[in-house]
Structure 1
């Protein structure tokens, strides 16, 4: 059975960022204003050498050893990469963007028909909110569990916009194929059996979340999404065409903006792969910032093992030079732990660390 998390605090109308935007006020409610140490530094220049790697999926599918090595280096050195030539029809990417935007542009009363339900992170609203004094992100979310079937709550699959739900189905099938394929080549790059992750994961858990970031009159005071790593094995991010550049990843203690390549998908390593690779590949802290004039849409798919799967570092990746850093645990337990804690860097991964280990 799926783990049952604690209910997040429900967010009221005054904290719906689209409604705040409609009010056309320059004032930012106190619940959104970050402490000085958390605020984004606006206008900083990042060297072009800090661009995240781009992986050509067509080369992987042709069996290119160089592309496999490039993928392995991207996972180890960055934990993030973009994928081009991923074989997902561009028209499908355009449709999912269009319908996602149409959903967010619905009247609030319509979106409230699909509230983020108690005990889940599915529905419309803000996730990971557990106290009245917790700072809120400048973002509206709509999330759905997709696979396996039992995690779906069909009551919150929208009837508007028309064809929204069936497009989510089609999109999620294509993203699932991509994740399986990427995990195969990630395994090859680690000198493991190519099907090791698919066999281990069972019926993989898959969820999709759409994030909408309206323009913010004071982007220097807020965050679109708090810094965190993902609890998944892989995360696939589609950034809306024409959106402001908002995704940033933490590398060498510098927040690096991700410049989206045309028609590319951004992939990142989640906590699960960090554990399985015994820290060789690390999940990376990332966040979203806002823009004063432009809005931003992102569509995020989380791909993770079955809740029943027992996880721990793979024996092939543990030796005297790389001793075991993480304990064995049930993925369902970790999933419950992850979604019942606020986003706070990589703090949730402490759940899996062997107690004597102070760092990864």
Structure 2
């Protein structure tokens, strides 16, 4: 199903999106939209990765920005923390539409978050998100924000395992309470798609079969995270590869002939594990003297160990970068800012040195998003 094309082997052709009514019938002319929906944390490195994308890649990418957990904060401290995070994202996102979600907020956070999220629209079209499993208070707040902005609302439906048919009824009930003038987006979130979910594609089709006709969805996206958490054991040799199971699931889902599939858009968690978004950013208590740099190929993620300290740090990190450059799948510095940084890191050119955790995260995410967009488009 995949054909090669120079720098981006394994690319799939771009889709044409047709908006359909609640009964599945076509409602208008074919229209284009973003090809790719990555879930990204509202962290400076993720905003930096998005900002560094070339305009044609940025324009095809509509992130689902995810606020981190903020456990134990007072309402005023919570509002201040979220304002800072939204400001970071807003500076990068001001020219294109995206979604902004607070998936880890509890009911006590709804009111202090509401005021901040309503003002998030001043940075650009940052659409609120809700879901069928969320509290009535959170749902009402997201709906009110969407009605005020007029730019729509994301309905994020979690499916961490088998599809539960009752979820479609819950989504239907939620839509019944949504202003019919507000555009709605279906964001089917599979969470982690790892080796323990061989039937993820089949379950995704069951979910989409049940929900695609519930509304005149402006967007229908399936989102899955296939990146494993790196461990010291896996990195004993300084290097390993792991399969892109979420991409394999996407290929399985889209090879069929269901009428709604040409409208379906691909999403993932960038070049990070899905579970990493649930980490409280204030809970860091040090860590190992190493991090990782991930590079995306057609079928796998290549994971290189990078050192954060020690006399051998610079030499080790330059060697790891050169090893990535030597891969046949390396797309060259012309591919984007991430590949250019890898070249400079490998050969000691430029002023960026060999990086740190934040550097490796923006590089990994930027190269991944660029590659995914070209794979979907070409």
Q: Could you say which TM-score interval applies, normalised by the shorter chain?
A: under 0.3
Normalized against structure 1, the TM-score is what? 0.24
TM-score by length of 2: 0.23
